[in-house]
Each structure stands twice: as structure tokens, then as C-alpha cells.
Structure 1
Amino acid sequence: MDVPHHLTATQLLAAYRDKALSPLDYAASLIAHIEHWEPHLKALYAYRPEAFLAEARESSERWARNDPRGTLDGVPVTLKELIATRGTPVPLGTGLGDQRPAEEDAPPAARLAEDAALLLGKTTCPDFGMLSSGLSSFHGLTRNPWNLACNTGGSSSGAGAAAAAGYGPLHVGTDIGGSVRLPAAWCGVVGFKPTLGRIPIDPYYVGRCAGPMTRSVDDAALLMTSLARTDRRDAMRLPPETIDWTDLRLELQGMRLGVMLEAGCGLPLDEPIRLAVEQAARCLEAAGATLVPIAPVLTREMLDGLDRFWRARQWSELETLTPAQRERVLPAIVDWAEEGARLSGVEAVRGFQQTLNMRRATEAAFEQVDAVISPTTPNVAFPTDWASPTNDPQRPFEHIAYTLPWNMGEQPAISLNGGYSDDGMPLGVQLIGPRFADHLVLKLAKALEQRREIAPRWPSLPTGG
């Protein structure tokens, strides 16, 4: 058997069925593995190993009786701390304000509990989920396991680090402008942002999605079987639909695949990422797809407009804090949001209007093609203690130009590893489909994963203190 923490969720479930491994044996091995990694990464919040072991023991007893309680019985999972779990505070990366324990599970947590997945712990995020960085005034600094001097990205920073380091096979993040796909790219894992409403979420908001972060496309699909079930607490949810998420067979012959190498604005594209995307596109072309170069969907006006709206929105939250509390928020966020106090209502509304312009542009892209391939990030890596790839609070979104439009347009998009730079850092490749074509995007990702044939490779455990 492989090293336990290298097993996928599918492999784990097979091992449980065959009595080759018990959930308790796996949990004990996983805890020992995390003890070595976590002092370096700081990816976890509300991590309670004794409670996790107790649940694993109960799961082992069920498997011994051949009576698993759910489809994920005994499989560890982490949830981003923004996803409420009953009995645990939701600090929003800051620990400010009312920190009473959550009274109920948010929809993703509730679905996983129904399927008897074992909650390993929560994962870290930056203040208010408003940075693509591992920086947090509450959690501290979460580092990238591929290189501790490099950033995880965010805001699902802990989930990206935990997935790459092998903290179990299943992780769930949230994404409003790239917060699942960006850390997935920089940490070399799979990150799937579904169509808005496909995975019910609470609180819900324009563009906000929960999504799987895993080491394989198969595990992302497996997670969808739980997460995509309906929940009326999300007023933006999609109607229930019967989908066999784990059936990832796809015939590529005749598919028109748009190749979008330029973002339209933001940071310039690093050459290693361009080459990785081009190679990925050629793999799919060799399998039958027709490649169609397409123009960017984002403009400078769109990105700047949304930036202004988000500043005003964030300032409205900061304004509820006392001056002493505001001083505890990361300076990069305060410096960025302060302009929101000076914007007029008309300027904020004009900024929000750009979300609709993005929606129009992204929808139009699929008049020509069935799916799109692009970079996930423009840059290979950036320093671990930076608030963003520019580290400039006045230019905080220059790196989200490839991911943001698909949140505002509500299309499903997935990032998966497309290879490595000369320095050994992962290179993210993104696949996007039309609204509601979530299953197609997962199938296309599986096809690419199989055809790229990148040898399994995961970060080495740090040595020393």
C-alpha cells in the first residue's frame, strides 16, 4: 500500500471496504504526518486531533460491521474557516467582533456530515477572505509546502497548503474572485469553482461559491456528490439535478476549445505558465479537440470598477469596528479599503455595474467555443509574507484577471497542475465551461489529467526547525 497520506479518497474507501486499512489506522498516521508539517505551514484552525481520533474509532467500528453510515464514512475532510461548523467560531481571518460559536453547520459542512466524512479541522484564510495570500491577522502566516519562502495565495490559503502537504484527501474552500483556483494553482492541486448555486452556500453573495480542493480530479468529482445537494438556506441555489459526478468519461472529438492566453489587463503572463497552457491545449488537440484562439473577456475598466465597488463594500464592514479593532486588521486591507469611504454612491454603483458587463462578456465567449483553457495565475510564485503578488494595496487585483470574470459570469472553472517551473513550483492551468456545464468541466479536467501524464510528485517534508 502507498504511504497512507498519499491515498486518494477513492483509494481510502476501497481500503476500508477490503479491510486493508481502518479509518482509525489512517487517522493515527495522518495526525503524525500533520505534526511534522504543521509547525512549518500553519494551515489549520480548530484542529482537535483527539476528537478526530474518536470519530475515526467509531467509523472503524462501523466498517468492521460492514455498515458504513454514509458514502464518505471515515474519509477526512477540512473546511475553510469561513464555512460555519456548529460549535466553532468563524473568525473571518481576524478574530474581531462577535466570536460566539456557530449555531449550525453551513450547507457544505452539513452535507459532509450527512455522508459521515470526518472533519479533521478548519483551514486558514486571510482577513475577511479579501486577500489572495496566506497572511492573516488572526491565523498568522500560512506557507506554501512546495517552498516555505513562497506564498500559498488565497483566500483558501490553508486549504491549498493542506491539500498539497497531504492533510487528507478532501478539502473545501470558497471562491469569489479566484479564492479556490489561485491557491490550487500555486500549491499544485485541483481547485474547482462550480456554477454559482451548484453548491449551496450560506452566507451567499454575488459570485461566491464553495468548491473542492483535492489532489486529483476524481476526488473533486467525489466531493461534488455530497456538496451539490440542495439546501434552501441558499436563495441563489440551482434546482436539484441528478448527475453522476464520478462518471468522467468524455469524447473530445469535435469539441471546440478556446485558448485564452492573454487576460486583457493585470500582471503580464510568466513564460513558464504560457508554455504549460500551450502544452496542455496541444494534449487536448491530439485527443480530438479543435483549438480556437480567443480574445480576453476582461478589460481594465471592468477590473477597476469592481475594485472600487469592493473597496466600498469592505469599508462598510470595517466601519462597524472600533478604531482599536480596525488597528488589528492587516494594514494592506485597511489601506486598500479606505478609499471606499471617499467614493460616492454613484461611483460604487458604477463599479458594481462592471459585474454585469463581465457576465455579458463571459457568456459571449461561448458563442464560439464549447470550453476555454487559460492560465489560472499570471505569475509562478511570490514571497510568502506579501499581501498579494504586487504587494501594493492600491493594485491588489492584478493577479485575478484570469479567474475573476468567471465568478461574475457564474461559469464553472477548474484549476489543475500543468507542470513545474525550473525552480520546482507548480504551474496552474484553468479550464472553463458555460454556465451549468460543471460536469463537462470535470470531465475535461480528467481528460487533461490523464493525457498530460505528469508523474505524481508532492512536496518534501521540511527538515530542521
Structure 2
Amino acid sequence: MTAIASLSAAELGPLYASRELSPVEVAKDALARIERFEPQVNAFVVRDDKVPLAMAEAAQARWLKGEALGPLDGVPVTIKDNLGVAGWPMRRGSAVASDAPFAADSPAVARLREAGCVFLGKTSMPEYGWKGVGDSPLSGITRNPWDIATGPGGSSSGAAVAAALNLGCIHLGTDGAGSVRIPAAFTGVFGLKPSYGRVPAWPISVMGFLAHLGPLTRTVRDAALAMNAIGRPDERDMTAMTGMPPDFTDGLEAGVRGLRIAWSPRLGVDVPVDPEIAALTHSAALAFRELGASVEEVDPGFDDPIDTLMTLWSAGAALALRSAGPEARAQMDPGLVAVAEAGERIDGATYVDVLLNRRNALALHMAQFHARFDLLLTPTLPLPAFSVGRNTPADGAYGEDWTRWTPFTYPFNITQAPAASVPCGLTSAGLPAGLQIVGPYGSDSLVLQAAAALEALRPFPRVDAPIETI
């Protein structure tokens, strides 16, 4: 039989049903590989093997009785450390946060528990998810399995690493400025930022309407299966959609024939793009012509909304640190503290103007753009993964501000539209590149459909164990 380490969530259910494989076998395999790889990649902040083994045993009993809860029963998953899991701490990457067990599951976690998933552990993130790289005062440095001298990006750092190594099939992440798509691109996995509100959140993120919650997976179908579960409504989030989600696997292989697709190699931003990333993403964009879509090179035509982002982002950081005094702040990431202090200086009228008017103006602009184009393609990032322990590359090409090398991701947090990062090849150094697919608000199924079409034409590269190049 195919090695457990290569199986997807979609493949596990039929194997459980035929009794060729059991949830306990799968859980033990995943836990053994976590134990083996964790010293190299440092992707987990909470591990308690008794919990996943007990959940796997319960799932196995249901399958044996013919009473499985659904296609995800017994599927191993991980959860980012800013999402609540009853009985496990939620420290958000902060060494000064309480390590007391959290009282309740967050909505997406609750939906996965109801689906019978097996919780392998909680994954690492930078402190309060404030930056796009994978180190924190709590857990140290998380490393990229494609080359452990490089970082996996962030803030869903450990989730992306676990997805790349198939340490579980579904990995919950959050995305406030690219935090699912950035690490997905750096680690060669599929990452989806759904339309805002499609996946309920609680506790509500301090980043408010910027913050989306979505899956990182090795396959597009696994992400669709995850969305079927986590996209269900929850009354604890007053900003979330209240209707039941569609079946995101329905029509997943329908293709893109006849779609009008825009390709923007720089999104109109004056930013250096690595030549290999440019070539790989351009080739992937043109591949949609092979699939029957029209592809036109065109920029959406908006100015870089970095000021809008940073007004909301720094105010959110200020809220996160509101109760942290000087002693606590001295133990926190200095960059986070600086951003929070900038947020404390923002006046209320400015914040509300950005929240209501400037955000809406960009969303309207993109809605009008999508009246002409069904989808927009861009590189997810302008560069491959760079050295660990840094917020920006050492060559100084992007300065010292991490948002300067992520200009293609955060505009679509502001508009709240669905966006995904799809693996589209490797550089000569063996590092992944990601193509970003953006759709109009509410078109999550179409984004998944386009990603699945590209995956079928150009299967994603895989890494089976951490690579050490030093």
C-alpha cells in the first residue's frame, strides 16, 4: 500500500472504510514523523500524544461500526496557536501569555472536532502573528523543510511546515496580511484565504476585518474538504456569514475553460521580483491558456494600500498589547512593540476613515475590475524563502520592513476577497514559488476550481523530509 506519509485526507476515508488502514495507524505514523522531524523544523508549540491517540481510537471505533461522522473522521489535523482548543493553551506565540488551558474550541476547531478529526497539536507562529516570518519569543525559530537554513514565512509558520511534510492532512491557519499565503508560497503547499466571514472566528482577532481563517494543505481537494467543515456558521462571530456553505468539492474538477483571467506580474507596485520567481509564475499564469481560459496581462490599477494596511495593523497590535506593561513588553518581540506603539498614536477619526471609506474604495475598485475579469493572477511573493532569523532578506533589496516583500498579499485582506497561493515550481536552489489566484468576494469555489485545474495540469512538488543544505 502507498506510504501513509503520502496520503491525503481525501484518500484516507476510503481506506478507513475498506479497513485497509485505521485512524490509529495514521495517527501513530504522523506522531512518529513529528517526533523525527521536529528537532529540525520546530513547527509545534503544543503536543500531547495522548489526545490524538484517544481521538484516533474513537474514530476507529466509529469506522468499524459503520458509523463514521463523515469523510474527515479520523483525519489528522493541526491548529495554529492563535485558535482556541479546549484543554490546550492559546499563547499566540508570546512568552508572556498564560499557559493555562483554554476553555473552549474556536468555531473552526469545533467544526473539525465534530467532523471526527484527530488533533495532532498546535503550530508555531510569530508573536501575535504580527509579521510574515516564523520566529517568536515563545518557540524560537521555525524552519523551512525545503532548506532548513531558510524560513517558512508566517504567520502560519508551523502550519505550513506541517503541511509540507504531511504531518497531518489539514492545517488551520489565519491570514491578516498574507499569513496563510506567505508561508504556503515559501513551503510549496496550497493555502486558501477564504472570503471574509466564510469561516467564523472567536475570539475575534485584534486585526478585525483584515483577519481571515483558512486551511493549508498538500492538495486543493483537501482544502475543499476542510472548507466544507470549517465554513459552517457559528453564532459567536457576529461578522460571519450565517448561511451554510456550499459543497466546495462539487464541481472542483470543472476546469477554467471560457474564464477571463488577468495576469499582473507586479500588481502595479515598484518592487524587485526575483527573476526565477517571475519566470515560474509567468509560466504558471500562461498555463491557464492551455486549460481553455483567456489570459491577459493587466494591472488592476490601484495604488499600493500600505497606509491603509498599517493603520489597521498597528491599531490591532496596540489592542493586543493594551494590558502589557513595560516589564511584559521587555520580553516581547521589539518589532511588535514598536508597531503597537505606533498604533497607540492613531486617532479615532483616522482609524474609522480607513476602516470604512478607504477599505470600501479599494473593494469597489476590485469589484469593478472583476466585472471584466473572473480571476486575477499574481506572484504570491516576489522572492523565494530567505535566511532564518531575519525579517527581511540580507541583501537589503526590501529594506527593513517585512511588508515591502509582501505587497501582493495584503491588498486582498483589505478587500476581503478570496485568494489562494498555489505551488508552481521550484527555483534552481530547490525553493518553491507560489502563484496567487484572487477572485471576487464570495467566489471561493471558483478560486478552488482554478487551483485544482492548475494542480491537475502541473502536479505540485513534494518534500518528504527536511533538507539540510549547509
**Shorter-normalised TM-score: what interval?**
over 0.9
- Which residue of 209, 213, 218 maps to 2:216? 213
Amino acid at match of 1:186: F
Residue number in structure 1 paired with 2:296: 292
Cα separation, 1, equivalents of 2:350 and 2:400 = 17
CA shift, 1:206, in A, is 0.5
Partner of residue 417, structure 1? 423
| Residue 382 of structure 1, CA deviation | 1.4
Change (3 A) 1:280 1:111: same
1:330 corresponding residue in structure 2: 333
* Structure 1 residues 395 and 354: CA distance shift in structure 2, 3 A: farther
Q: Secondary structure at the match of 2:90?
A: coil
- CA displacement at 1:266 relative to structure 2: 6.3
The TM-score normalised by the length of structure 2 is: 0.93
Deviations 1:202-221 (A, max 9, x none): 13321211101000001111
SS of equivalent to 2:367: helix
Distance 1:317 1:125 in 2: 15
How big is each residue's C-alpha offset from its partner over 1:295-341, in whole Å with a ceiling of 9 and x where there is no partner?
145524x2134224422432343342121100111122223433334
- CA deviation string 1:396-443 (max 9, x = no partner): 311222111111111111111000000000000111111111111111
Match of 2:85 in 1: 85
1:111 aligned partner, one-letter code: R
* Structure 1 counterpart of 2:200: 200
2:241 matched to 1:238? yes
2:446 matched to which residue of 1? 440
Distance 1:8 1:464, change over 3 A: same
Counterparts of residues 87-236 of structure 1 (less than 5 Å): 87-204=87-204, 205-236=208-239
1:9–1:75 CA contact under 8 A, matched in 2: yes
Residue identity opposite 2:463 in structure 1: W
CA distance in 1, matches of 2:39, 2:171: 19
1:460 partnered with 2:459? no
Say whether 1:429 aligns with 2:466. no
Give the direction of change, closer, same or farther, for the CA distance of 1:341–1:269 in structure 2 (3 Å limit). Answer: same
Equivalent-residue separation in structure 2 for 1:251 and 1:94 (angstroms): 43
- Do the aligned partners of 1:309 and 1:349 also contact (CA within 8 Å) in 2? no
Q: Would the alpha carbon gap of residues 319 and 63 (structure 1) be closer, same or farther in structure 2, given more than 3 Å must change?
A: closer
Per the alignment, in what secondary structure is the counterpart of residue 450 of structure 2? Answer: helix
Query: Tell me, which stretches of 5 or more residues in structure 1 are unaligned?
Result: none
- In angstroms, what is the RMSD of aligned CA positions? 2.2
The unaligned stretches of length 5 or more in structure 2 are none
CA contact (8 A) 1:266 1:399 kept: no
- Per-residue CA deviation, residues 191-230 of structure 1 (Å, 9 max, x unaligned), is 0111111111113321211101000001111111101111
Residue type of the alignment partner of 1:420: L
Rounded Cα–Cα distance in structure 2 between residues aligned with 1:343 and 1:394: 22
Contact 1:411 1:433 in 2 (8 A): yes
Q: Percent identity?
A: 35
2:283 corresponds to which of 273, 279, 284: 279
Structure 1-normalised TM-score?
Answer: 0.94
Q: How far apart in 2 are the matches of 1:133 and 1:285?
A: 34
Number of residue pairs matched by the alignment: 463
Q: How many Å separate the matches in 1 of 2:200 and 2:288?
A: 32
SS in 1 for 2:149: strand
User: In structure 2, what residue type is equivalent to 1:441?
Assistant: V
Q: Does the C-alpha gap of structure 1 residues 36 and 97 become closer, same or farther in structure 2, counting only changes over 3 Å?
A: closer
Change in CA separation of 1:324 and 1:267 when aligned onto 2, cut-off 3 Å: farther
What CA deviation, in whole Å up to 9, does each residue of 1:272-306 have, x standing for no partner? 12212221122111221111222145524x21342
